[in-house]
């Protein structure tokens, strides 16, 4: 497993949550959050089949990691997760898989900032003859909501420069009704108390994506959990606006 001083966290902020995370999520949302993962895998089948390098940031316990690896048979998966306890749970899922699939996963116990070390992910390092076939996909599921606005901008810009071909995104989205807004704010308070996240409220990620030239592929958008959650495949040459 790769370790790096960049993005390394001394304290596992999710150790308390990791053992109950999936049970809590299903208690509050039923199977809707798992379904949002599945929507991305199903909707992203075309992109995943072509994908040679898949980067999953903040994957937590690795919900549906087996299905993801099956849908992207040519890809190496770089799994970036700062919480050791979350990472271990994802690893135990992959350890049930055949050796070849296990060997396709690079485990990175660090925050997303690990990506910004130039040597980690650098398209100029891809051999020239592989460039044309190289397809880089990024997956973030219920991860962007932990980042501050400057961190979101930085990651969206990094993804553009790193020539990410498809960004598979799922997260909570900004609501208009006060009950849903209050519910999301309550979730933030819970996360602030248990994991000390710095972001205090939900940002309009779709607007931020738009500002950075990312747009949703036509008909890839799916809503879940009474429209609290939205998922889509984003590209830089998107065919339709969000």
Q: List interacting residues with ligand SAM (CB under 6 A).
A: 14, 57-61, 63, 80-83, 86, 111-112, 141-143, 146
Please say which residue, 69 or 86, places its beta carbon nearer to ligand SAM.
86
3-state helix, strand, coil in the chain (%, to 5): 45, 15, 40
- Give the residue among 11, 59, 52 at the shortest CA–CA distance from 135: 52
Please say which residue, 63 or 216, places its beta carbon nearer to ligand SAM.
63
Q: How far is the CB of 141 from ligand SAM (least distance, A)?
A: 4
Q: How far is the CB of 83 from ligand SAM (least distance, A)?
A: 4
CA distance 227 to 14: 26
Q: How far is the CB of 61 from ligand SAM (least distance, A)?
A: 6
Q: How far is the CB of 182 from ligand SAM (least distance, A)?
A: 19
Q: Which residue is nearest to ligand SAM (CB)?
A: 60
Please say which residue, 57 or 202, places its beta carbon nearer to ligand SAM.
57
Q: How far is the CB of 57 from ligand SAM (least distance, A)?
A: 5
Summary count for the chain: helices (H), strands (E): 11, 8
Q: How far is the CB of 112 from ligand SAM (least distance, A)?
A: 4
Please say which residue, 43 or 82, places its beta carbon nearer to ligand SAM.
82
Cβ-based neighbours of 27, under 8 Å, separated by 6 or more = none
Please say which residue, 21 or 238, places its beta carbon nearer to ligand SAM.
21
- Angstrom distances, CA of residue 145 to CA of 72, 168, 200, 235: 25, 15, 9, 20
Please say which residue, 44 or 59, places its beta carbon nearer to ligand SAM.
59
Question: Which three-class secondary structure state does DSSP give residue 74?
Answer: coil
Side-chain-side CA neighbours of 88 within 13 Å: the count stands at 8
């Amino acid at each position: 497993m790769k370790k790096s001083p960049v993005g390394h966290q001394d304290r596992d902020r999710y150790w308390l949550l990791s053992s109950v995370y999936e049970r809590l999520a299903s208690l509050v949302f039923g199977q809707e959050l798992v379904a949002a993962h599945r929507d991305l895998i199903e909707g992203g089948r075309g992109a995943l089949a072509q994908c040679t390098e898949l980067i999953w940031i903040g994957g937590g316990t690795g919900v549906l990691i087996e299905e993801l690896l099956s849908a992207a048979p040519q890809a190496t998966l770089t799994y970036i997760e700062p919480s050791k306890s979350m990472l271990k749970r994802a690893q135990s899922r992959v350890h049930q898989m055949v050796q070849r699939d296990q060997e396709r996963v690079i485990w990175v116990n660090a925050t997303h900032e690990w990506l910004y070390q130039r040597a980690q992910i650098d398209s100029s390092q891809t051999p020239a003859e592989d460039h044309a076939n190289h397809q880089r996909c990024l997956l973030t599921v219920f991860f962007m909501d932990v980042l501050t606005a400057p961190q979101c901008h930085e990651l969206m810009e990094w993804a553009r420069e790193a020539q990410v071909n498809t960004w598979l995104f799922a997260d909570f989205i900004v609501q208009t009704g006060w009950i849903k807004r209050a519910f999301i704010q309550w979730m933030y308070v819970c996360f602030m108390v248990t994991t000390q996240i710095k972001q205090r409220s939900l940002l309009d990620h779709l607007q931020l994506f738009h500002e950075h030239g990312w747009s949703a592929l036509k008909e890839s958008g799916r809503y879940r959990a009474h429209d609290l959650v939205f998922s889509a495949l984003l590209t830089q040459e998107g065919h339709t606006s969000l």
